[in-house]
């Protein structure tokens, strides 16, 4: 029996060569591209029946023009790069991969936070440069050090990643406040559901873990930032457009926030004039929180299982 045809449009971020696409190759005649320029998306899909992609964009015109396309497998949890209206009109099955990166993103959230509070890299660089050898005392600090125990951790969003971050925060002895859309179930022990106003006003550390939707775009703006403590730290490992970046840069410059650490920006890669690139006390990593080898391996195997279930007529993790 002839295998169906499948194209992976932007494979490199998921698998730069340290993993195998064998779980997907076992199910389809697979063509793999490391990267696909927007102008070549339709051409590369060609007559394929299925496509997998991470950040490549499937516009309405592409969806309507791909003659045999029936299945779209998103190699990520977020699926805002797909025109869902056009996909629905075409009757496509669209799946995503939830939960694969939860431990890694939660871990990176605290890597960012601990860099803000302890600034390990700065102190290590100074010691290597001779600062410790030249110092009069056995111990010195280039920056204030903040103990997390007793601090209030505020979370916007409480999916799998938000819940994992809450557990880690609690293990540090932090008080945990959460704002989420669905509050029909009682919060876990040690977690309090609060309004956005309370969350922004009371958090010592505010961490974003909600999806990007029309309602959450620009959630963190000048008005919200004015509600925060000047001593507060803002973290974003979710989506860049949740934040109005110019407002955030201004808050840092005017000392209305102590620090910011983000793994995502509004445009990726960023434009050279992105205001956060030159903002003080702002740590930036290049959207890598999800990208441990363990998480990427889970992603490939879960994406293959999604496609296997679709071929069996029982699709799972459906967006559409």
Same domain, 306 and 158: no
Give the model's pLDDT for residue 111: 98
Same domain, 142 and 276: yes
| Catalytic annotation present for 268 | yes
CATH of the domain at 137: 3.40.50.720
Domain assignment present for residue 318? The answer is no
Catalytic residue among 287, 296, 298, 317: 287
Same domain, 107 and 219: yes
Total of domains in the chain: 2
Domain assignment present for residue 320? The answer is no
| Catalytic annotation present for 287 | yes
Same domain, 29 and 128: no
Q: Is the pLDDT of residue 1 over 80?
A: no
Domain assignment present for residue 316? The answer is no
State the SS3 of the chain. Answer: CCCCEEEECCCCCCCCCCCCCHHHHCCCEEEECCCCCHHHHHHHHCCCCEEEECCCCECHHHHHHCCCCCEEEECCCCCCCECHHHHHHHCCEEECCCCCCHHHHHHHHHHHHHHHHHCHHHHHHHHHCCCCCCCCCCCCCCCCCCCCCCCEEEEECCCHHHHHHHHHHHHCCCEEEEECCCCCCCCCCCEEECCHHHHHHHCCEEEECCCCCCCCCCCECHHHHHHCCCCCEEEECCCHHHECHHHHHHHHHCCCCCEEEECCCCCCCCCCCCHHHHCCCEEECCCCCCCCHHHHHHHHHHHHHHHHHHHCCCCCCECC
Catalytic residue among 180, 209, 239, 298: 239
Which whole number is the average pLDDT over 85-107? 98
Residue 64: domain span: 5-100+293-311
Same domain, 125 and 251: yes
| pLDDT tens digit sequence for 237-281 | 999 999 999 999 999 999 999 999 999 999 999 999 999 999 999
Domain assignment present for residue 72? The answer is yes
| Model confidence band, residue 2 (pLDDT cutoffs 50, 70, 90) | confident
Which whole number is the average pLDDT over 196-200? 98
Q: Is the pLDDT of residue 149 over 90?
A: yes
Catalytic residue among 43, 147, 192, 268: 268
């Amino acid at each position: 029996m002839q295998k169906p045809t499948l194209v992976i449009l932007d494979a490199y971020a998921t698998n730069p060569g340290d993993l195998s696409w064998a779980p997907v190759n076992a199910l389809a005649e697979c063509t793999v591209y490391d990267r696909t320029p927007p102008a070549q998306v339709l051409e590369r899909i060609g007559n394929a029946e299925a496509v997998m992609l991470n950040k490549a964009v499937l516009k309405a015109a592409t969806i309507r023009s791909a003659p045999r396309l029936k299945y779209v497998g998103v190699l990520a949890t977020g699926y805002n790069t797909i025109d869902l209206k056009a996909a629905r009109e075409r009757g496509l099955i669209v799946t995503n991969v939830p939960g694969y990166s939860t431990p890694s993103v939660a871990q990176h959230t605290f890597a960012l936070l601990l860099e803000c509070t302890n600034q390990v890299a700065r102190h290590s660089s100074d010691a290597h440069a001779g600062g410790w050898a030249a110092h009069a005392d056995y111990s010195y600090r280039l920056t204030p050090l903040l103990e997390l125990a007793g601090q209030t951790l505020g979370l916007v969003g409480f999916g799998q990643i938000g819940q994992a971050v809450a557990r880690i925060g609690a293990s540090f002895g932090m008080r945990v406040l959460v704002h989420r859309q669905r509050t029909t179930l009682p919060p876990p022990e040690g977690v309090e559901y609060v309004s956005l106003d309370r969350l922004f006003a009371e958090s010592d550390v505010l961490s974003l873990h909600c999806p990007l939707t029309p309602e959450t775009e620009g959630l963190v703006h000048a008005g919200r930032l004015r509600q925060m403590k000047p001593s507060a730290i803002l973290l974003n490992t979710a989506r860049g457009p949740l934040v109005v970046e110019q407002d955030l840069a201004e808050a840092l410059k005017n000392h209305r926030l102590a620090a910011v650490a983000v793994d995502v920006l509004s445009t990726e890669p960023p434009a050279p004039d992105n205001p956060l690139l030159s903002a003080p006390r702002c740590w930036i990593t290049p959207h890598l929180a999800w990208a441990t080898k363990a998480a990427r391996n889970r992603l490939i195997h879960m994406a293959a299982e999604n496609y296997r279930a679709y071929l069996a007529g029982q699709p799972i993790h459906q967006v559409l």
